[in-house]
Amino acid sequence: MKEEVLFEISSLSRNSLKVKGFRFGREGTTPSCVIVGPMMGTAIDQLWIASQLVRFLRQHELANAAFVKGEILVIPTVNPYSFNMGKNFWPLDNTDIDVMFPGYDKGETTQRIAARLFEKTNNYDYAILLEARKDHVECIPYVEVLESGMSYIEDARAFGLDFIHVKEEMPNDTVSLTYNWNVWNAKAFSLISGKKGILHKHEANKVFDAIVRFLVKKELIDFSTFEGSHGNLVMPNDVEAIKSSAAGLFDTLANIGDSVVHGQPLARIFNALDGTLIQTIISPCDGIISCRYDYSLIFQNAIAYRIVKVESAQNTL
């Protein structure tokens, strides 16, 4: 293992921003894979996954010099400033680094961070981004592939997670890291899981296992692991978003990963002042809960649940 500072950006008010990487195997060999940790400072699950992956690779490489068969670069976090301050985005101006790619080396700070990161990560065969959702939810682990990456769905199945979500590309996706990786011909995946600000080791360990499984199947490491799921392909229309009709105290009755049936009560919303029951949220379909609103006070028209519909699940292309 080689620990290195990939790039450094000076600051007028505090220590320089240093983005570190941990390199395994020989640089320039194939196959190659880069794994980038969270860009948000509240993505605790993703930081845990990245750090445990570094530990796993280091231990096995020390025990067996031939353990790593290609090149693997792990970047545990791009935004340590925000982790230190408990902020979602870049703390000095509240901008999101993941809407700045491919970056601009003479631009604002987050544009320069994006440019330096992209320069260091745009020449790998496989590229994995560890993400937490940016909305107020917790979710089961899943692989996200942009529509432009439909040609390598079979590669996404190598993670062995239950769901592969094909994301419809929007204009703001063109400035994301995964989109720009795709443009530069890397096979790019986002692994999304958990809930911001809290470590869910059970869900995080599923993602860790999925990455190890992927590295094994792509012949990047010499290791034995169990098979995972074949991966249900989920298109945008396969997910039912269920909104609240009122604001109030959110009493959940169903958890992420639960199988639900049409007509099943999922949650209740109570008036926050007098305790009156305002709404019972009912499942409109059969399926599996993939995401759930994660705060005890819910706003009107907030998405309370997302359900992957059973009738539209696809197991093969």
pLDDT tier at 195 (50, 70, 90 boundaries)?
A: confident
State which amino acid sits at residue 218: K
Phi first, then psi: give them for residue 191, nearest 5 degrees.
-110, 115
Same domain, 105 and 201: yes
Same domain, 183 and 46: yes
Of 295, 132, 128, give the one whose Cα is nearest residue 200. Answer: 132
The answer to the question of residue 58 being in a domain is yes
Task: Give the N- to C-terminal CA distance of the chain in Å, as an integer.
Answer: 38
The answer to the question of residue 72 being in a domain is yes
Same domain, 176 and 246: no
Is the four-CA dihedral 51, 140, 44, 253 of positive or negative sign? negative
pLDDT tier at 314 (50, 70, 90 boundaries)?
A: very low
What is the CATH classification number for the domain harbouring 64? 3.40.630.10
pLDDT tier at 12 (50, 70, 90 boundaries)?
A: low
Query: What residues make up the domain containing 56?
Result: 2-234
Model-level pTM?
Answer: 0.93
Total count of domains within the chain: 2
pLDDT(239) > 90? yes
Q: How many CA atoms lie within 13 A of 16 on its CB side?
A: 9
Mean pLDDT, residues 161-176 taken together: 93
